[in-house]
């Protein structure tokens, strides 16, 4: 009886160590007292970082410090986004405490991206591992040059030999995680996440390389070799392991494996399903398939509601065949409908001007206002159009500060019909011009503070003060919301 009681108490102790242990993420930001933090919230299970980040995400405003409390039963990847500009990915185990110290660059340190630079330091639980993951493996593309080097040295025929050389590089990269585990610088659960993510991320890159080679090959014998090698990689590298769905990039390796499985399955007759990129959701466990797949349908509407993409439409069409009454379809349609209604309601004035101007000042002199907010965009720029989702609130703020809104498109004049269509479609209030090459170069020179003849990266946002004859370049995007507003307010008050 006593022995059974001891076993029972021991079992309770083990369970209590796994359940209810809260993790603490302590955030401190230097360089700004007005910030927004967006972070993951796993509302369905401990899988699918994208689902946790986009559908279940939490956004909070903070000054310079904030503490996030996580209550999970197992290790997870946790995603943070600071001011819609810089992110961080952390493997978190129940009971961990992680200090995240963020320094935002001063105005003078702004780079050509139009965003301030961020320096992130991590401390406390597993901090050595977090910093190694950030510096060496996030993004996973940091490992690609070493893989490319053996690809470039190998002949197309010796693909199995190439794979053997690749495994040597893979093992070298993974040794860092093994060493940390031996030195007790990393907990086992966090080790599992970082090790699996690194391994699967590199494996996916190699598999995608062979899939691309296979798609271009016209030799039946080589096609068979590629198929054989890809299956060998899937088996040896554990592509079927569902644990990969807990990882950040490694989950994509599992999804690639499922996609190839669907394509080769003759029993699946749905040809459109086999064509769409997101078909791997079809093989997910039924308990969370709708949540995961539905999130991929909803995600484009959340991130970029104005960016109509044919592949996104195809995914929604196929998803609707299997889940016609899903809440995700209703949410998606509600977002598109509500944004259209808001823009229609906010619509007041558009003026499309096709006259040629030789300089920015010629444009500004056409208007009597002192301050101008300039949005540089193009009809082919998806991020530019995605930012239009935030124009309604921005327009109200600009009106309250008596700042005129000007849109400068860098489209060719032969594309002016499409340009006009998009202006009307998205109800863009303000004055619209096509910026010819002279004006594009002028914008670039103001950005870089030197003579320049290269290409202009967009979107770009800046303010011009006509009274002071002064440009304020590299403003944050409208999606940064309060961050951009504070930048604008600072300029107007300063002058």
With a CB cutoff of 8 Å and minimum separation 6, the contacts of 340 are none
Span 24-38, average pLDDT: 92
Render pLDDT for 136-195 as a digit per residue (tens, 0 to 9).
999 999 999 999 999 998 877 799 999 999 999 999 999 999 999 999 999 999 999 999
Residue 471 belongs to some domain of the structure: yes
For residues 389 and 318, membership in a common domain is answered with no
Tell me how crowded residue 176 is: count the other CB atoms within 10 A of its CB. Answer: 18
pLDDT of residue 125: 96
For residues 78 and 182, membership in a common domain is answered with no
Residue 214 belongs to some domain of the structure: yes
Residue 133 belongs to some domain of the structure: no
122-136, 332-346, 347-361: which range is least confident on average?
Answer: 332-346
Residue 293 belongs to some domain of the structure: yes
For residues 298 and 332, the answer to whether their CB atoms sit within 8 Å is yes
Residue 4 belongs to some domain of the structure: no
Domain boundary (285, 313, 334) is at: 334
CATH of the domain at 431: 3.40.30.10
For residues 269 and 307, membership in a common domain is answered with yes
Q: Coil, strand or helix: which one is 20?
A: coil
For residues 165 and 310, membership in a common domain is answered with yes
Q: Coil, strand or helix: which one is 50?
A: helix
For residues 439 and 464, the answer to whether their CB atoms sit within 8 Å is no
For residues 196 and 275, membership in a common domain is answered with yes
Domain boundary (273, 303, 334) is at: 334
Local structure of residue 54 (DSSP, 8 states): I
Residue 130 belongs to some domain of the structure: no
Domain that holds residue 39: 19-125
For residues 41 and 71, membership in a common domain is answered with yes
Burial of residue 245, with CB atoms counted within 10 A of its CB: 0-12 exposed, 13-18 middle, 19 or more buried: buried
For residues 166 and 116, membership in a common domain is answered with no
Q: What are the two backbone dihedrals, phi and then psi, of residue 305, each rounded to the nearest 5 degrees?
A: -65, -20
Query: Quick one: pLDDT band at residue 215, thresholds 50, 70, 90?
Result: very high
Torsion sign across C-alpha atoms 472, 475, 481, 487: negative
Span 468-474, average pLDDT: 88
For residues 424 and 382, membership in a common domain is answered with yes
Our count of domains for the chain comes to: 3
Domain boundary (300, 334, 368) is at: 334
Burial of residue 78, with CB atoms counted within 10 A of its CB: 0-12 exposed, 13-18 middle, 19 or more buried: buried
Render pLDDT for 56-112 as a digit per residue (tens, 0 to 9).
678 888 899 999 998 888 898 888 989 888 889 999 999 999 999 999 986 545 545
For residues 299 and 165, membership in a common domain is answered with yes
Query: Tokens for 424?
Result: 């009307």
Per residue in 11-29, is it b (16+ CB within 10 Å) or e — as a string?
eeeeeeeeeeeebbbebeb
pLDDT of residue 11: 44
Residue 484, preceding peptide bond in cis (omega within 30° of 0):
no
With a CB cutoff of 8 Å and minimum separation 6, the contacts of 225 are 159, 160
For residues 69 and 197, membership in a common domain is answered with no
Cα–Cα–Cα angle for 284, 94, 27, nearest 5°? 105
CA pair distance 1, 282, nearest whole angstrom: 50
CATH of the domain at 27: 2.60.40
For residues 377 and 320, membership in a common domain is answered with no
Residue 58 belongs to some domain of the structure: yes
Mean pLDDT, the chain, whole residue set: 85
Burial of residue 150, with CB atoms counted within 10 A of its CB: 0-12 exposed, 13-18 middle, 19 or more buried: middle
Q: Given a cut of 60, is residue 7 above it in pLDDT?
A: no
Tell me how crowded residue 175 is: count the other CB atoms within 10 A of its CB. Answer: 10
For residues 92 and 187, membership in a common domain is answered with no
Query: Quick one: pLDDT band at residue 449, thresholds 50, 70, 90?
Result: low
Query: Quick one: pLDDT band at residue 43, thresholds 50, 70, 90?
Result: low
Residue 368 belongs to some domain of the structure: yes
pLDDT of residue 366: 84
pLDDT of residue 248: 86
């Amino acid at each position: 009886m006593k022995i059974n009681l001891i076993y029972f108490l021991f079992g309770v102790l083990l369970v209590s160590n796994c359940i209810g242990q809260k993790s603490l993420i302590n955030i401190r930001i230097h360089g700004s007292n007005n910030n927004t933090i967006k972070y993951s919230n796993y509302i369905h299970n401990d899988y699918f970082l994208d689902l946790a980040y986009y559908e279940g995400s939490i956004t909070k405003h903070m000054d310079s410090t904030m503490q996030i409390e996580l209550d999970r039963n197992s290790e997870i990847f946790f995603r943070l986004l600071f001011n819609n500009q810089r992110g961080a990915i952390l493997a978190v185990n129940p009971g961990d405490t992680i200090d995240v110290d963020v320094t935002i660059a001063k105005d003078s340190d702004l780079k050509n991206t139009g965003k301030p630079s961020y320096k992130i330091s991590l401390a406390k639980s597993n901090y050595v591992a977090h910093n190694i993951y950030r510096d060496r493996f996030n993004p996973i593309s940091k490992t690609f040059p070493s893989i490319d080097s053996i690809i470039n040295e190998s002949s197309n025929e010796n693909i199995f030999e190439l794979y053997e050389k690749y495994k040597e590089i893979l093992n070298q990269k993974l040794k860092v995680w093994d060493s940390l585990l031996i030195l007790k610088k990393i907990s086992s659960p966090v080790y599992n996440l970082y090790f699996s993510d690194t391994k699967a991320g590199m494996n996916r890159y190699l598999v995608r390389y062979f899939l691309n080679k296979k798609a271009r090959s016209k030799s039946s014998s080589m096609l068979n070799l590629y198929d054989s090698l890809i299956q060998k990689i899937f088996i040896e590298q554990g592509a079927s392991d569902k644990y990969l769905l807990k990882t950040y990039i490694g989950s994509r390796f599992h999804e690639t494996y499922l996609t190839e499985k669907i394509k080769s399955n003759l029993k699946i007759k749905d040809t459109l399903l086999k064509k769409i990129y997101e078909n791997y959701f079809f093989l997910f466990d039924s308990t969370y398939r709708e949540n995961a797949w539905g999130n991929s349908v909803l995600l484009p509407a959340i991130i970029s509601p104005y960016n109509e993409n044919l592949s996104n439409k195809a995914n929604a069409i196929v998803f609707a065949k299997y889940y016609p009454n899903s809440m995700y379809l209703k949410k998606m349609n509600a977002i598109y409908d509500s944004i259209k209604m808001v823009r229609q309601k906010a619509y007041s004035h558009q003026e499309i001007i096709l006259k040629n101007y030789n300089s920015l000042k010629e444009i500004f002199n056409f208007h009597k206002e002192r301050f101008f907010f300039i949005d540089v965009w193009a009809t082919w720029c998806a991020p530019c159009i995605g930012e239009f989702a935030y124009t309604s609130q921005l327009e109200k703020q600009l009106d309250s500060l008596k700042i005129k809104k000007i849109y400068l498109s860098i489209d060719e004049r032969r594309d002016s019909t499409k340009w006009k269509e998009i202006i009307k479609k998205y109800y863009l209030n303000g004055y619209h011009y096509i910026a010819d090459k002279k004006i594009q170069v002028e914008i670039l020179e103001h950005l870089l503070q030197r003579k320049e003849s290269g290409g202009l990266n967009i979107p770009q946002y800046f303010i011009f003060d006509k009274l002071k004859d002064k440009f304020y370049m590299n403003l944050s995007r409208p999606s940064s919301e309060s961050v951009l507003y504070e930048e604008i307010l600072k300029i107007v008050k300063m002058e």
